[in-house]
Structure 1
Amino acid sequence: MRKTRLDIDRIRAARRAIDPIFLDTPLYRCEALEPGLGCAVSIKLETANPVRSFKGRGTEVIASRLADSGERAVVCASAGNLGQALAWSGRGRGLDVTVVASRFAPAAKLDRIRALGAKLELVDGDFDMARERAAALARNDGIRLVEDSLDIETCEGAATVGLELVRATPTFDAVLIALGGGALATGVGRVVKAMAPGVEVICVQPLGAPAMTHSWRERRVVTTDSTNTIADGVAGRRPIPAVLDDLLLVADDAVLVRETSIIAGMRMLLDHAGLVVEPSAALGIAAILEDRDRFAGRHVVTIVCGSNVDVDAYHRWVGAAGAAGAAPASAAGAAPAGGS
């Protein structure tokens, strides 16, 4: 295949920089989900760690390299999960971490960033506005800016999930990956296409935050003016060109799913797998729900990528799913925008 920015040897090396608490996460067949989905489903569970998402894999690589080089301060923009992960990884290595986020981000994520010792700055806008502010802080203060998905460490850290997937027995036919900025999709996709090329790599994004999917389909960067989805972790408006280039090489498909399907997926993961997940983590299940015929008779892996969710909002969403099959985004409290 043509080369992406991601290197398999560097991905293998990244494992050595990552705290083992983030590695070798559970991968198991969840038969209880299968009657409702019509296919064999395995779950790769990326929530059983101190930051409750896969983001710690990438921030461990970044923080390790920063500490080794003698740097002592770092800033990032985040919708919550990256900020928590960088705060956790930085705290253990003596780094001063600043996180810029939208004040509309889930309160649970913001509270956890503060609890982990990072300085938190809030902006009156969405994730892309936070990204601009973080870049300004980095320039003004002369400190390292971490840009999720653009910084190769975030992608190659996330790619270690793929190393674990391709070792799986039995093998699987397709992997469903939440698509936001692209670190997880490009990382896992790179490994899967290099080491298990027969596996279909399918990226999933909300219909209310379609910029990266439209960009993949049109093979050029497509931006949107706004987002409208409860899946705040994948709700960026401005794809990064270099990340899109990588995605074009490793993704077989990119699909959009409705808010009702996301909520129904969250409810299924609660009822049949005992998992409380954030909306982004239910995108894979949502994709199966919307296209059962495509997956019928196949073995599909879905990466459950995060469980940082506001408790009150979660109860509204899953309660709506149980009472009426799902609720529209406007009724469910859709976030105005988001990111990593």
Structure 2
Amino acid sequence: MAPVSGGGTGLDLPAAAVEEAARLLEGRVVRTPLLPLLAPGAGGEARVWLKAENLQRTGSFKIRGALNCLARLEPQQRRRGVVAASAGNHAQGVALAAAQAGVPALIVMPASAPMVKVESTRSYGAEVVLAGDTFDQAYAEASRLQRERGAFFVHPFDDPHVIAGQGTVGLEILADMDDVDQIVVPVGGGGLISGIAAYVKQRRPGVRVVGVQPRAAPALYRSIQAGRLVPGESARTIADGLAVKEPRERTFQLIRRYVDDMVLVEEDEIAAAIFMLLERSRLVVEGAGAAAVAALESGRVRPGSGRTVAVVSGGNIDINLIARIIERGLVADGRYVRLAAQVADRPGSLHRLLGVVAREGANVVTVSHERLDPAVPLGDTEVGLVVETRNRAHAEQLIAAIRAEGIACRERP
């Protein structure tokens, strides 16, 4: 691979390497905006801003590192092509970068990868091979094919040129916001935060950099706590892009040197952040992309005296998952309520119940009957309602009004 001017030695990353990457990427990637995150009804200046990499080409920051890496290939390496393993964003980033560079690309994806991501990767011109049921199995097959073909392996985070490319996110933040005092970054394998933190700390040391991992996939968090690499376990998390089992020494050392703190967030906090960003900011964000916002909204990371930037790393989320998150978000806000009301099994009883709902200004979404439950007395029926309300207080008001009519009513989980 061609040398990088100012490339440094060992496992460090000089700021000059990120600046060189930025020059190379100019006009080839989107300079994503910094968007204010305003609380409902808030006036004045926003304290939290979003670096919206979900608006990047391919829907995530990964194109930055992939383009910077492929630009360094020697002519012989370019002819042999590149190989990568990924279940999503890295696959699409490498596929598009290879297409732009005129380099053949083979992407190995697990058979369980969402078909929309498989087809998107193919649409950029890459050859896609489905292998195994997990990322680790796909990675093993990609390594075998790389050796067989003599191709160059594009690692998603354990590569200095990939990390330098991801670091251009931090360069843009500093260039676009003079008074930023904290940057919050999602962490999987650590390539994004390593590049951002190394650049930011060398150019503006007073800016605080905080990493966020899901509690369900905390391999790098535990490694930093232990002071050594600690492999993780297979984990299911809504932030699947952050579920890295095997941290690497390069990003581990960069994080130890440059990152101020790391925190963990819960699954429901990530889901709540996805819901909030969709409703409040009109942004479609994947689980990994919402992790930094989840840390801020949950209070696990607090804004500083100046401006805090949360890096929204990607927006490639399955539409069915969005639908489930919206429904859960409405339930959590008290705007969707599941009720069970016990009424007499005779004409007019349902009309009476629904009359109370209408009078209280709520909207019925679904209605069901349950006559076979042994807990329901003979002669009665349990009516299940899903009701749309304004908020939690309105839901409580509705339940009280139903009970005031002499109808037994409880909220269902």
TM-score by length of 1: 0.88
Q: Is the 8 A contact 1:44 1:303 kept in 2?
A: yes
Q: How does 1:157-236 map to 2 (within 5 A)?
A: 157-236=165-244
- What is the alpha-carbon distance in structure 1 between the residues aligned to residue 284 and residue 137 of structure 2? 29
- What is the alpha-carbon distance in structure 2 between the residues aligned to residue 225 and residue 29 of structure 1? 36
Structure 1 runs of 4+ aligned residues shifted over 6 Å read none
Gaps (5+ residues) in structure 1? 327-340
Aligned pair 1:269/2:272, yes or no? no
Given candidates 49, 57, 68, the residue that maps to 1:42 is 49
Aligned pair 1:240/2:248, yes or no? yes
Q: Which has the higher helix share?
A: 1
- What is the alpha-carbon distance in structure 2 between the residues aligned to residue 316 and residue 20 of structure 1? 37
Show the counterpart of 2:127.
119
Distance 1:89 1:292, change over 3 A: closer
Task: Using the TM superposition, give the Cα deviation of residue 306 of structure 1 relative to its aligned residue in structure 2, in angstroms.
Answer: 0.6
Task: Using the TM superposition, give the Cα deviation of residue 273 of structure 1 relative to its aligned residue in structure 2, in angstroms.
Answer: 0.7
Q: Is the 8 A contact 2:77 2:152 kept in 1?
A: no
Q: Secondary structure at the match of 1:270?
A: helix
- What is the alpha-carbon distance in structure 1 between the residues aligned to residue 124 and residue 40 of structure 2? 35
Show the counterpart of 1:89.
97
Q: Secondary structure at the match of 1:308?
A: coil
Task: Using the TM superposition, give the Cα deviation of residue 293 of structure 1 relative to its aligned residue in structure 2, in angstroms.
Answer: 7.5
Q: Identity of aligned pairs, percent?
A: 33
Q: Deviations over 1:76-106 (max 9, x none)?
A: 1112111101111111222111111222233
Show the counterpart of 1:323.
331
- What is the alpha-carbon distance in structure 2 between the residues aligned to residue 228 and residue 121 of structure 1? 23
Distance 1:206 1:325, change over 3 A: farther
Task: Using the TM superposition, give the Cα deviation of residue 176 of structure 1 relative to its aligned residue in structure 2, in angstroms.
Answer: 0.7
- What is the alpha-carbon distance in structure 2 between the residues aligned to residue 261 and residue 298 of structure 1? 24
Task: Using the TM superposition, give the Cα deviation of residue 153 of structure 1 relative to its aligned residue in structure 2, in angstroms.
Answer: 1.2
- What is the alpha-carbon distance in structure 2 between the residues aligned to residue 292 and residue 99 of structure 1? 37
Aligned pair 1:304/2:297, yes or no? no
Given candidates 135, 140, 145, the residue that maps to 2:143 is 135
Query: Greater shift after overlay, 248-257 or 96-105?
Result: 96-105
How many residue pairs get aligned? The number is 323
Asked which structure has the greater CA Rg, the reply is 2
Q: Is the 8 A contact 1:67 1:95 kept in 2?
A: no
Query: Greater shift after overlay, 69-78 or 79-88?
Result: 69-78
Query: Greater shift after overlay, 315-324 or 135-144?
Result: 315-324
Q: Is the 8 A contact 1:76 1:98 kept in 2?
A: yes
What amino acid does structure 1 have at the position aligned with 2:53?
Answer: E
Aligned pair 1:59/2:66, yes or no? yes
Task: Using the TM superposition, give the Cα deviation of residue 119 of structure 1 relative to its aligned residue in structure 2, in angstroms.
Answer: 1.3
- What is the alpha-carbon distance in structure 1 between the residues aligned to residue 40 and residue 52 of structure 2? 15
Q: Is the 8 A contact 1:79 1:105 kept in 2?
A: yes
- What is the alpha-carbon distance in structure 2 between the residues aligned to residue 297 and residue 6 of structure 1? 29
Given candidates 9, 21, 25, the residue that maps to 1:18 is 25
Task: Using the TM superposition, give the Cα deviation of residue 220 of structure 1 relative to its aligned residue in structure 2, in angstroms.
Answer: 0.7
What amino acid does structure 2 have at the position aligned with 1:128?
Answer: D
TM-score by length of 2: 0.73
What amino acid does structure 1 have at the position aligned with 2:199?
Answer: V
- What is the alpha-carbon distance in structure 2 between the residues aligned to residue 4 and residue 300 of structure 1? 28
RCO comparison, higher one (Cα < 8 Å, 6+): 1
Gaps (5+ residues) in structure 2? 1-8, 335-413
Distance 1:135 1:19, change over 3 A: farther
- What is the alpha-carbon distance in structure 1 between the residues aligned to residue 198 and residue 235 of structure 2? 28
